[in-house]
Structures are given as structure tokens and as C-alpha cells.
């Protein structure tokens, strides 16, 4: 069960405040915390804690933040393939969380902006030995084209989490085994929103995408598969921090598929994993191990529409 993840890694600085800013407002933060992070970084660590062997392809600067990320990956048993960019700083994320556990994130890509298709192609042998590729949008888009091409060449399924979202090429999305936008991202990547007449299933179908999971935060998730929509509820719990919940979901989904689960089972596994992650503050402390996930697993009642 080997997964190759592409992604940004850097230092995340969390500031906890009572509420989010109004324009021009200065707020005093109640807590300060730092950890290594990035969407791909979180996904890589989450997949490793769930039992996968993980390669992580990334770029870092020649600085302490970059070295901290690589040390952390090693400690978690993730195999890093990192290009060191000497004239760039390692990425940095500014994460503001309020008392409800919601977060607002600003990312400076730094060295990760220089992740290149050439670097991906230079590591074709690494990707080729994987059972799954896990991609996102926190680095240049051309890298995803290069990775999807390698996936196609070796028949390796690709899960693409289009976060952060921008308008994407439907052809690239169609080549993925699965795309996993949240509701906002689903509209942005295809440039169309759900309306009274058209659901996401109709919109995706129009673009030739027949399989997708739309994550809905506290409302659960929607699996679109074989012309059907299956709605999954969320798991009620005390929310401490939603940061990284999507990354946990994607990693668990990838692991579940590789464990042989069908897609509805894999979505249920992903929802259970992300529900565990949001019960703890920050990202790294909340990423569950496979034992923790197994112990607290909750079966979900779904509703299906044709
Ligand atoms: O998805 C959450 C992640 O997005 C954080 O870890 C932060 O680093 C940003 O990249």
C-alpha cells in the first residue's frame, strides 16, 4: 500500500482568536502555536499514520523551517523526495482559528512554488512504484499534469483534491480516479454552481466526470458515482479545530481504497478519520492512527438519489 503525495510543506503559525476580524480591526490572539504543515504534508503524514507507505515530493528552502519539515516526515515514517531551493524560503501558512474551531488560512508558497514538472518527471520511478497518487493544488498546476500523465502511463489511480481552487481543465479532472472538492471548490474548478435546475452530479456529468466526492463540512459529504448521489452525514462531535480535516479525509479515502473498500465504504472511512482530527487543536496532534480510527469507528446512515 504505497501512496505518492505531491505537496507544499512549510511552517504553519496558528493564532487563536475569539472571532475573525472585521475590516481594519486588530485582535489580540489568545494562543500561538507552530507546527510543520501544508496540504500535501498533512495528507502524507495522515496516510502514514493510517498504515500506508508514503513518498512525499516537495520543495523546501535551505532553512530551518525546511529542515524541520523533513525531520518531522522522517519521524512519521514518510519518505521525503525534497528539492532544496537555495534562493527561496520554505513555505509559510498563517492560520487563524476562532472559538468555533473554524479557520482562515493564508499561504505563502515560497520554495513550493518552484515544484516543477521536471522534478516530478525526474522522480517518475518513485511514482511508478506507487499504488495511488494523491495530488492537490498548493503548487504549480503543471506538476499535476506531469503526475497524471505518469499515473496514466503506469495505470496508477489518482485522487486530486482541488484545494485551493481555481478554474481547471475538465480533461485533467476526467483522467483522475476521483476528485474531492468541497462545495466552494466544486463550483470554482468547473466555473458552475449548483442551482435549482442542476445539481453537482448534473454539472460534473456535463463535464464528463462521473465519480467525485464533494465534502460538505458539518453536513457530511456527497459521493457521486454511476449516475447516483449518495449523501453521507457528518459525525457530531465537539469541534476544536477544523484545519486539516479535508487533508485527513483525502488521506483516509486513499488508504481505504487501497485496503480494498468500495467507494461508499471509503467515504465513510474518510469521514470517520476527519471527525477524529477536528476533536483536537491544530493539525498534527489530531491526525488519527489506524488503531484510533478502528477503535472509534461509526457506521453512517446514507441517503441515495438517482
Ligand atoms: O489544509 C490545511 C493546511 O493548509 C495547513 O496545514 C496549512 O499549512 C495550509 O497549507
pLDDT in tens, 106-115: 999 999 999 9
Q: Dihedral of the CA atoms 250, 73, 81, 121 (nearest 10)?
A: 0
Which of the listed residues 12, 46, 68, 286 should we mutate to test ligand 1's pocket, taking the one with most ligand atoms within 8 A of CB? 12
Q: Of 134, 125, 192, nearest to 153 (Cα)?
A: 125
| Omega within 30 of 0 (cis) for the link into 89 | no
d(CA 292, CA 174): 34
% of the chain surpassing 90 pLDDT: 94
Q: Which of 18, 62, 169, 247 is catalytic?
A: 247
pLDDT in tens, 50-90: 999 999 999 999 999 999 999 999 999 999 999 999 999 99
The rounded distance, in Å, linking the Cα atoms of 253 and 266 is 5
- The confidence score (pLDDT) of residue 198 equals 84
Q: To test ligand 1's pocket by mutation, which of 11, 36, 37 has the most ligand atoms within 8 angstroms of CB?
A: 37
How far, in Å, CA of 274 to CA of 43, rounded? Answer: 11
Reported confidence tier of residue 194, pLDDT bands at 50, 70, 90: confident
Residues whose CB falls within 8 Å of the CB of residue 180, separated by 6 or more in sequence, listed in order: 159, 160, 161, 162, 212, 213, 214, 215, 246, 249, 250, 253
Ligand 1 centroid distance, CA of 6 (Å) = 14
Q: Which of 134, 129, 181 is nearest to 155 (CA)?
A: 129
- Phi, psi angle pair for 249, to nearest 5°: -60, -50
Residue 228 alpha carbon to ligand 1 centre in Å: 31
Nearest one of 17, 135, 112, 128 to 59, comparing CA atoms: 112
Amino acid at each position: 500500500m504505497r501512496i505518492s503525495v505531491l505537496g507544499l510543506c512549510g511552517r504553519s503559525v496558528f493564532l487563536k482568536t475569539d472571532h475573525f476580524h472585521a475590516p481594519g480591526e486588530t485582535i489580540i490572539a489568545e494562543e500561538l502555536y507552530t507546527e510543520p504543515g501544508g496540504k500535501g504534508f498533512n495528507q502524507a503524514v495522515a496516510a502514514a499514520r493510517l498504515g500506508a507507505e508514503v513518498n512525499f515530493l516537495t520543495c523546501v528552502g535551505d532553512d530551518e523551517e525546511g529542515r524541520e519539515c523533513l525531520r518531522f516526515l522522517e519521524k512519521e515514517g514518510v519518505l521525503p523526495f525534497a528539492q532544496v531551493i537555495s534562493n527561496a524560503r520554505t513555505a509559510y501558512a498563517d492560520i487563524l482559528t476562532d472559538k468555533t474551531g473554524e479557520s482562515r488560512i493564508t499561504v505563502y508558497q515560497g520554495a513550493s512554488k518552484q515544484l516543477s514538472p521536471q522534478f516530478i518527471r525526474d522522480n517518475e520511478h518513485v511514482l511508478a512504484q506507487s499504488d495511488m497518487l494523491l495530488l492537490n493544488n498548493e503548487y504549480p498546476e503543471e506538476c499535476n499534469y506531469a503526475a497524471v500523465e505518469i499515473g496514466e502511463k503506469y495505470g496508477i489511480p489518482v485522487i486530486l483534491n482541488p484545494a485551493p481552487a481555481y478554474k481547471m481543465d475538465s480533461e485533467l479532472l476526467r483522467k483522475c480516479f476521483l476528485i474531492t472538492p468541497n462545495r466552494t471548490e466544486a463550483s470554482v474548478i468547473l466555473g458552475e454552481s449548483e442551482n435549482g435546475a442542476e445539481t453537482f452530479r448534473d454539472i460534473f456529468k456535463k463535464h464528463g466526470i462521473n465519480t467525485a466526492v464533494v465534502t460538505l463540512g458539518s453536513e457530511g459529504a456527497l459521493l457521486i458515482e454511476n449516475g447516483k448521489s449518495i449523501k453521507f452525514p457528518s459525525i457530531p462531535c465537539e469541534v476544536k479545530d477544523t484545519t486539516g480535516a479535508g487533508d485527513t479525509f483525502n488521506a483516509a479515502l486513499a488508504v481505504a481504497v487501497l485496503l480494498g473498500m468500495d467507494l461508499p465504504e471509503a467515504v465513510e472511512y474518510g469521514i470517520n478519520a476527519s471527525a477524529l482530527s477536528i476533536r483536537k487543536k491544530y493539525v498534527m496532534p489530531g491526525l488519527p492512527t489506524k488503531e484510533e480510527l478502528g477503535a472509534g469507528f461509526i457506521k453512517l446512515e446514507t441517503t441515495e438519489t438517482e
